């Protein structure tokens, strides 16, 4: 049974242009919450995400069903005048355009905001790039890792005695996409008052910088440069990964005074609560490594399930380090439908993360996985650009669609 579209954005039409993650993840979020997302792709090869992944089971990427979900795929060569004219026709009826080409590409193709807004003054255009649309770095190539480096995240990630580490996901791209979506929803809200669209300029490095807490301000006031600190935050203790029997790890967050008191009770060590070295937040921060060693010695005597149960009974925040198999078996995930199943034409039933956050009346949903390249070309160009069957055949013969 098809999943009904109850999303709050079901009255919006979004044209997604660009590729990889930063732009398409923004389109995925809007599609998850009901927008009609029309993805324009190169008709010959499509989005590179169609071929990304550690492996290609059955010749298909496990990446594409997720980032392409809830979208319609239109194959259209934007480097041709006819392709550009069709794109303009689609955008003239749209609410939002998302693009993540290098700055200047849209202008080169005659698809600048100034041009597009002449036919659609309500148009909201989100432009996602490495360094933004202005400034001396604007025209530089900027992938996610560059934004993570310039935004400050890479420097503080990893162990102190090793080179900077990455998060294990393309977090810079995803943060840029999320900031683009925030900008889009803000612009749509403002459009309700003024009737006018505008441009959202989402730079990867600024999107990373936005979540760097007080890193700049702390240096500005005190001269302290935050360094890599592995699995802990300096001065925040106890808050770390600790060993259990069998080589498993448990994460424990007990840095607040009241929580720490409950942890010492669970440990059967009331002396740790009153010890001057650990008596309050500041003291525990100064003696962080000594306290972590004491806790690690204690946790190593338990199996992970037994320790989780004990800490839960005492109200101490703790968790296993979740992997995909853990997520698929966890009762919290199941109760909230954090993972959903959708039908894929090649893979059959596949599981993926649901649409977040949860809305009480108009929730998002995964209605279909990433479509085949050009699957909706005839439908969209026929309905929205007035192309007849003969015109579509002509365009296909020229390789434009």
220 is catalytic: no
Structure tokens, 219: 């240096």
**Number of residues that make up the chain:** 401
Q: Count of CB atoms within 10 A of residue 348's CB?
A: 9
Structure tokens, 98: 């998302």
Q: Are 110 and 82 in contact (CB under 8 A)?
A: no
Q: Count of CB atoms within 10 A of residue 253's CB?
A: 16
Q: Are 32 and 7 in contact (CB under 8 A)?
A: yes
Structure tokens, 86: 């069709």
Q: Count of CB atoms within 10 A of residue 66's CB?
A: 18
> CA 170, 123, 15 angle in degrees (round to 5)?
45
Strands 124-129 vs 199-203: parallel, antiparallel or unpaired: parallel
Q: Are 236 and 285 in contact (CB under 8 A)?
A: yes
Q: 77, 173, 292, 378: which is the annotated catalytic residue?
A: 173
The DSSP secondary-structure symbol of 42 reads -
Distance of CA 220 to the CA centre of its chain: 30
Whose tokens are 């669970």? That residue is: 266
Q: Which residues contact 377 (CB under 8 A, 6 or more apart)?
A: 43, 73, 74, 75, 76, 392, 401
Strands 339-344 vs 239-243: parallel, antiparallel or unpaired: unpaired
Structure tokens, 384: 């929205």
Cα 196 from Cα 124, distance rounded (Å): 8
Residues known to be catalytic: 173
């Amino acid at each position: 049974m098809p999943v009904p579209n109850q999303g709050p954005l079901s009255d919006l039409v979004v044209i997604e242009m660009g590729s990889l993650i930063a732009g398409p993840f923004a389109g995925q979020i809007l599609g998850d919450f009901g927008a009609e997302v029309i993805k324009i792709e190169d008709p010959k090869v499509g989005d590179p995400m169609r071929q990304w992944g550690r492996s290609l089971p059955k010749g298909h990427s496990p990446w594409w069903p997720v980032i392409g979900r809830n979208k319609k795929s239109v194959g259209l060569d934007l480097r041709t005048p006819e392709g550009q004219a069709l794109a303009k026709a689609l955008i003239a009826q749209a609410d939002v355009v998302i693009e993540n080409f290098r700055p200047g590409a849209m202008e080169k193709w005659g698809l600048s905001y100034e041009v597009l807004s002449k036919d659609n003054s309500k148009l909201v255009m989100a432009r996602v790039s490495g360094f933004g649309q202005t400034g001396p770095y604007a025209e530089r190539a900027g992938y996610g890792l560059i934004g993570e480096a310039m935004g400050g995240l890479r420097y503080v990630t990893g162990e102190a005695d090793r080179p900077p580490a990455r998060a294990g996901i393309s977090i810079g791209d995803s943060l840029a996409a999320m900031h683009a979506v925030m900008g889009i929803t803000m612009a749509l809200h403002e459009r309700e008052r003024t009737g006018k669209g505008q441009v959202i300029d989402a730079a990867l490095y600024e999107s990373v910088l936005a979540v760097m807490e007080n890193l700049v301000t702390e240096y500005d006031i005190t001269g302290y440069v935050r360094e890599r600190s592995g699995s802990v935050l300096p001065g925040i203790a106890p808050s770390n990964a600790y060993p259990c029997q069998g080589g498993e790890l448990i994460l424990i967050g007990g840095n607040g005074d009241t929580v720490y008191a409950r942890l010492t009770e669970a440990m059967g060590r009331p002396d740790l609560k009153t010890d001057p070295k650990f008596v309050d937040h500041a003291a525990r921060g100064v003696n962080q490594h000594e306290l972590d060693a004491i806790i690690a010695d204690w946790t190593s005597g338990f199996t992970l399930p037994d320790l989780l149960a004990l800490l839960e009974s005492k109200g101490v925040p703790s968790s296993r380090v979740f992997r995909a198999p853990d997520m698929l078996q966890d009762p919290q995930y199941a109760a909230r439908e954090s993972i959903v199943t959708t039908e894929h034409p090649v893979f059959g039933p596949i599981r993926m993360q649901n649409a977040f956050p949860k809305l009480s009346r108009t929730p998002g949903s995964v209605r279909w996985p990433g479509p085949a390249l050009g699957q909706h070309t005839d439908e969209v160009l026929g309905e929205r650009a007035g192309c007849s069957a003969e015109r579509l055949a002509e365009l296909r013969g020229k390789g434009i669609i």
